[in-house]
Amino acid sequence: MPQLVLESVEFRYEDMVMSFGLRVESGECLAIVGPSGGGKSTLLALIAGFERPLSGRVLIDGADVTFLPPAARPVSLLFQEHNLFAHLTVFDNVAIGIHPGLRLDDESRARVTGALNAVGLEGLERRRPAELSGGQRQRVALARSLVRRRPLLLLDEPFAALGPAQRREMMTLVDDLRASHRLTVLFVTHQPEDAWHWAPRTAFVHEGRIIAVDGTRRLFVTRTVPEIDAYLGWMRFGEA
Amino acid sequence: MSRLLAGSLALLLLGLVVGGAFGALILAAPRLEAGDLFTDPYLRHVVLFTIFQALASTILSVGLALPVARALARRETIPGRAVLLRLFSLPLVMPTLAAILGIVAVYGHAGLLNQAATALGLAPGQYLYGLSGILIAHVFFNLPLAVRLLLPAWRAVPGESWRLASQLGMRSGDVWRVIEWPLIRQILPSVSGIIFMLCFTSFAVVLTLGGGPAATTLEVAIYQALRLEFDLGRAVALSLAQIGLCAAIIGAVQMLGREVPLTPALGRVSDRPDLAGVAGRVFDTAAIAAAMTFVALPMIMLLSAGLDGPLAAVLADPQLWRAISRSLTVAVLAAALALALGAAMLILARELRLRRGRPRGAAAIELAGSLTLVVPPLVLGAGLFVLLSPVADIYAVGLALVTVVNAVMGLPYVLRVLGPAMDRTARRYDRLCDGLGVRGWNRLRLVEWPSVRREAGLALALVAALSVGDLGAIALFGTQDTETLALLLYRRMGAYRLDAAATTALVLLTVCLALFAGIERVVGGRAATRS
């Protein structure tokens, strides 16, 4: 059974009408690319429940979640920024993923520590977000998504502000966590090479529609979709 | 659901208090005609004088604030700049009566100025009572406010503008015409509007420095009608005139100028081309020094007169301590009530604006919270007086009424201070909280409070300080048995016991500032002192 299905999910943002259909298998890592303003973030927000579709259905693990509030969906979404509460410590920022009132028993505390270790932040439990680097902050958010035990992880360009080496490091971490925790990952990116390296499959979003989903290499190399060429800045024969 | 409930209850309560007072005034006035305002010579005089003094005070305050603000904006490194800015925040929270005693000590009959004149062999003048006293006091309160409201305009100038001006060889006058004035002009209507309203509804200054019926404003006339002449009809007529004029003025201000958001730019003022000129330096230094003297002198004189007075006798008086404890109780309760009402209304407004796509509903709620601008405390008090006097002993529940009026008065400050912080929190954390299921009490405790604690502390401190210094509501409802510190001071001033009054004023100022600082630190937390 596919992990995630979008059945002709319609949405309207200002005067742009969007319509998404998509199937993602369990354990996949799918990249979402496309020009700005095309609806990539909206697509993730619809899956996570921050936006309600006008029509259509969102199915996760076969269950219809179209009308569930965000917290009730088996989904974690990492934003580009503001993934952490600035006034809470690293530990509490992770712990709030287990209990929204921060009431934890010993077992839960151990889980928090374990998750922080898994993302390489041991020893930083008492720091506050302002005392961390950008990469470390997103690691805390990743640790929180681990303790929440949600099988579907959505990344809305959380590493866009990092340098190339750090971005590579974070994507490696995400891919390791995907394998070890059996996650399904969807990530939005502006860097075609991220999709090339990390995503066996890529969805190309253009003007509110997913106009192509295919193996990433095939999508980029066979050059059958003119919008993708335009996005990548490749010229076609006869146009120059 | 609960996000809507608390705010709706707060609105209902506000509506009951303000609507009840307003309704009582309307019902009590069936025999009045609008024409009375223009035909009754006394009423006409009061209205015209109220407008005239407010206009003159605004022109003086803003006009004098412009060169001072420009000097402060240009000279970022001038010695004493930080002290001056701190000093300029004082008149906002300072009890009006304490400041008035300081002003009397400088400009009064036996004040510093006349002493200096005598020493120089000049004839002592009578500067103070009447229009000149009112103007001096209003400029004392509002010049610093105008400077603080105007300064952000300069911070909004992008750094490139200064560099461009330098490249183009602009002189000081060109900089003013091309860069500064266009920005200032945008905020000038709203700054002037705020100050005009403050002067228009000014009570304690006119009551104490007006010096007679020739210089009476609507607020003072309402007080006199209720407390001295027991003429309910006249109080109602005056109140309705006051409400109508305030509404008209606020409408005019809204039409004249929109609230322009000034985003601080990263510009460095040191790139300005007009910093080196000698004339400019001398002028700026003189403007800053003059403003500092004007604001600091009454404070220093209050301090010295207060300490010269019968300090031991005043402090040993049990009446004083009872008044202090009443003032503190009223202030703390009023502040808590204002914060609770304001926070509930802001949560409701935010919910409507950010989640339900109803920005107009949100704006209407915030406007409702600022109603006190149209219905000033004396009018609100007069309405409650008319409403409740048939059913209750007004003076027995006087302190409760004072608390409510002070809380409603403080509401606009709570909305102004807390609103942006609450909006910021929502924009930053709404999705995160929704995703994690953090809501209700958990959200209030773990997210909202830590994020807005500093602003909440400032709002509480402001309302508490204003409440301690307020004379309006307590003058209406107070008796000897419910005397607050401000009322005690007013009585001593009236009895011409000026030395004891100066000492009491010093006590009032101390209580007010200590309460302000204490609340800001305790409630706002350590973060409040950072910034």
Substitution target in B433, B438, B441, B526 with the highest count of A β-carbons within 10 Å is: B438
CB contact under 8 A, A82 and B435: no
The type of residue at B23 is G
For the cut 50, the answer to whether the pLDDT of residue A59 exceeds it is yes
Q: Which residues from chain B sit within 8 angstroms of residue A86, using beta carbons? A: 451
pLDDT at position B109 is 79
Query: CA-nearest residue of chain B to A79?
Result: B432
pLDDT band at B264 (very low <50, low <70, confident <90, very high): low
Q: Is A222 exposed, middle or buried (0-12, 13-18, 19+ CB in 10 A)?
A: exposed
Q: Would you call A85 and B446 a contact, using CB atoms and an 8 Å cutoff?
A: yes
Q: Which of A71, A79, A85 sits opposite B437 (nearest CB)?
A: A71
Whether pTM exceeds 0.80: yes
Q: Are A18 and A39 in contact (CB under 8 A)?
A: yes
Give the homologous superfamily in CATH for domain B40-271: MetI-like (1.10.3720.10)
Inter-chain Cβ pairs, chain A and chain B, closer than 8 A: 54
Contact A82 B438 (CB under 8 A): no
How close A222 gets to chain B, by Cα (Å)? 39
Mutation choice for A interface testing from B3, B356, B430, B446 by most A CBs within 10 A? B446
> Hey, how many other C-beta atoms are within 10 angstroms of the C-beta on A160?
16
Residue B59 pLDDT class (50, 70, 90 cuts): very high
Closest CA of chain A from B432, distance in Å:
7
Burial class (CB in 10 A: 0-12, 13-18, 19+), B113: middle
Cα of first residue to Cα of last residue in chain A, in angstroms, is 46
Residues of A with CB under 8 A from a CB of B: 48-50, 69-72, 75-77, 79, 82-83, 85-88, 96-97, 100-102, 148
Q: Which letter does DSSP use for residue B412 in this model?
A: H
DSSP states along A24-65: E-TT-EEEEE--TTSSHHHHHHHHHTSS--SEEEEEETTEE-
What is d(CA A24, CA A141) in angstroms, rounded to the nearest whole number? 23
Inform me whether the pLDDT recorded for A227 exceeds 80. yes
Per-residue confidence (pLDDT) for residue B398, from 0 to 100: 87
- Name the CATH superfamily housing domain B1-31+314-531: MetI-like (1.10.3720.10)
- pLDDT surpasses 60 at A240: no
- State pLDDT tens for residues B382-427: 888 888 888 888 788 889 999 999 999 899 889 988 988 998 899 8
What mean pLDDT, rounded, does chain B reach?
86
Model confidence at B30, in pLDDT bands (50, 70, 90)?
low
Contacts of A76 in chain B (CB under 8 A): 435
Q: Tokens for B171?
A: 């002189």
> Please, which pLDDT band fits residue B27 given cuts at 50, 70 and 90?
confident
Across the interface, do B446 and A83 touch by the CB < 8 Å criterion?
no
What are the residue ranges of helices labelled H in B263-358? Answer: 278-308, 311-316, 318-350
Dump the DSSP string for A74-136: SEEEE-SS--S-TTS-HHHHHHTTT-TT----HHHHHHHHHHHHHTT-TT-TT--GGGS-HHH
Q: How far is B438 from chain A (nearest CA, A)?
A: 5
pLDDT at B531 (0 to 100): 36
Chain B positions touching chain A (beta carbons under 8 Å): 428-429, 431-432, 434-439, 441-442, 445-447, 450-451
Give the mean pLDDT of B281-289.
Answer: 91
pLDDT, tens digit (0-9, with 9 covering 90-100), for B437-490: 898 889 989 999 999 999 999 999 999 999 999 998 898 888 888 899 999 999
What is the pLDDT confidence band of residue A236, given thresholds at 50, 70 and 90? low
- For strands A29-33 and A55-60, give the pairing: unpaired
Q: What is the pLDDT of residues B494-513, one digit of tens each?
A: 877 778 899 999 999 999 99
Cβ distance B436 to A96 less than 8 Å, yes or no, reads yes
**Which CA distances in Å does B341 have to B13, B287, B489?**
9, 41, 30
Distance from CA of A180 to the nearest CA of B (A): 23
List strands edge to edge, sheet with A152-156.
Answer: A63-64, A55-60, A4-13, A16-24, A209-215, A201-206, A29-33, A184-188, A152-156, A75-78
Alpha carbon distances (Å) from B296 to A88, B99, B272, B290, B462: 42, 10, 30, 10, 21
Rounded Cα distance between B132 and B140, Å, is 12
Q: What letter does residue B263 receive in the DSSP assignment?
A: P
How is residue B466 written in tokens?
A: 């204003």
Residues of chain B with C-beta less than 8 angstroms from the C-beta of A83: 432
Instruction: Collect all residues of chain A within an 8 Å Cβ-Cβ radius of residue B432.
Output: 79, 82-83, 85
Q: Are B207 and B378 in contact (CB under 8 A)?
A: no
Q: How confident is the model at residue B530 (pLDDT cuts 50, 70, 90)?
A: very low
Q: Is the pLDDT of residue B432 over 80?
A: yes
pLDDT in tens, B182-207: 888 888 888 898 899 889 988 999 99
Measured CA to CA, the distance from residue B217 to residue B140 in angstroms comes to 19
* B404: Cβ contacts below 8 Å, ≥ 6 apart: B17, B334, B337, B384
What one-character DSSP code corresponds to residue A70?
G
Confidence bin at B528 (pLDDT 50/70/90): very low
User: Is the distance from CB of B492 to CB of B502 less than 8 angstroms?
Assistant: no
pLDDT > 70 fraction of chain B, expressed in percent and rounded = 93
Structural domain spans, chain B: 1-31+314-531, 40-271
DSSP string, B175-227: HIIIIIHHHHHHHHHHHHHHHHHHHHT--HHHHHHS-SGGG--HHHHHHIIII
The label of the residue with tokens 């997913």 reads A210
What are the pLDDT digits (tens) for A119-168?
Answer: 999 999 999 999 999 889 999 999 999 998 899 999 999 898 888 888 89
Angle at A103 between CA A97 and CA A105, to 5 degrees: 95
> Mean pLDDT over residues B62-75, rounded?
93
